Amino acid sequence: MVAPVLRHFGGKRRFSGAVVTIKCFEDNSRLKELLETEGAGRVIAVDGGGSRRYALLGDMLASKAAQNGWSGVVIHGCVRDTDVLATMDIGIMALAAMPRRSLKHGEGVVGVVIDLAGTPCKPGDRLFADEDGVVLIEQELVAAAGSGG
């Protein structure tokens, strides 16, 4: 269970998928690169360090995410362009809105264990989000359930 500090900003309130992780602080360079790839129904979990100084996602990147088949983006940080995000067919959750654009220094790392609002999150874990919040299920538990074990 992820701490109940994240708010919905996207048009989809219920979304789920296998997790792809990104750790970045106030710089969305790696997130932008990832959103330009095929999402295949997966969810991007972003450890933005809880920063409320810069937005890591806005309407243009969210549009790319929806077009490329990402189920959702969950950010331990901020978003912008919230009026447009609310109309998009993608799940987006974050701490808050912030109008300032992110830095662009090419920083960040994809595919590492992150801290998602106090909860450890690994690539391949399964994320489920709805009106009540976010639940993470470890990849090992998903695999065990699928094998009948």
Nearest to 47 by CA among 98, 2, 105, 85: 2
Which residue, 54, 53, 63, is CA-closest to 28?
54
The overall average pLDDT reported for the chain is: 95
Q: What is the pLDDT of residue 149?
A: 54
In which region does residue 5 sit, left (phi positive, over 0), alpha (psi from -120 to 50) or beta (all else)? Answer: alpha
At which residue do the structure tokens 């009540």 appear?
Answer: 132
Which residues sit opposite 73 in a β-bridge?
A: 44, 92
pLDDT at 147: 63
Q: Tell me: pLDDT of 109 over 60.
A: yes
User: Residue 85's closest CA among 2, 1, 4, 7?
Assistant: 7
Q: Where are the domains of the chain?
A: 7-146
Could you list the beta-strand ranges (E) of 24-71.
Answer: 43-47, 55-57
pLDDT confidence of residue 148: 61
What whole-number percentage of the chain has pLDDT above 90?
90
> How does DSSP assign 64-100, residue by residue?
HHHHTT--EEEEEEEE--HHHHTTSSSEEEEEEE--S
List pLDDT tens digits, range 51-106.
999 999 999 999 999 999 999 999 999 999 999 999 999 999 999 999 999 999 99
Compute the average pLDDT of residues 1-7.
92
* Predicted TM-score (pTM) of this structure: 0.94
7-146 maps to which CATH number? 3.50.30.40
Measured distance CA(35)–CA(139) in Å, rounded? 22
Tokens (6 digits) for 122: 């690994």
Question: What backbone phi and psi angles, to 5 degrees, belong to 143?
Answer: -65, -40
